[in-house]
Amino acid sequence: MRTTEQWLTEYGVSHRNPANKSIHWICVPVIVWCALGFMWAAPFPDGLRSALPAANWASLAALAVVVYYAFLSPRLSLGVLPVFIVMLWSIHEVQRRVPLPLWIICGVLFALAWIGQFVGHAIEGRRPSFFKDLQFLLIGPLWLLADVYRRAGIRY
């Protein structure tokens, strides 16, 4: 298993252009939010919901990602936890307050965010990292959080 630093360094190789970095700061969180939104909108077994009222596919996926991140870096894992909580809360609020189905909102935003990602990589002149290894889809959000930690002087 690669170390956190190896994952982040390798991801950073195709994310050096300032325009591409800026695009990623916008698009990666939107993609994560939409992925969770799609899972939130998916039917969840009633038996499980009655046993765990807050459970749905999105909350279970977020928990699994937090556990994956904990193997890479417990400190980054703790940092992503409040981000996921806010995302899940906001998804719930959007579903509750916006008259459009959640999957339509997520579909439009997801498509726009991925277009943005590919524009960023066209500017960068490098292919997205996940073409090499799909695990990089999980490293992108961690790369952003690690940047926040570095800027704040927090070791990860």
Handedness of CA 49, 87, 131, 116 (dihedral sign): positive
The rounded percent of the chain whose pLDDT value lies above 70 is 97
Q: What is the rounded average pLDDT of the residues 82-88? A: 97
Contact 4, 156 (CB under 8 A): yes
Give the tens place of pLDDT for each residue, 114-156: 999 999 999 999 999 999 999 999 999 999 999 999 999 999 9
Structure letter (DSSP) for residue 17: S
Structure letter (DSSP) for residue 153: T
pLDDT of 54 over the 80 cut: no
Domain map (residue ranges) of the chain: 28-152
Query: How many helices (DSSP H) and strands (DSSP E) are in the chain?
Result: 7, 0
Six token digits for residue 65? 């990602």
pLDDT for 47: 74
User: What single-letter amino acid sits at 137?
Assistant: L
Give the tens place of pLDDT for each residue, 90-119: 999 999 999 999 999 999 999 999 999 999
Q: What is the rounded average pLDDT of the residues 56-82? A: 96
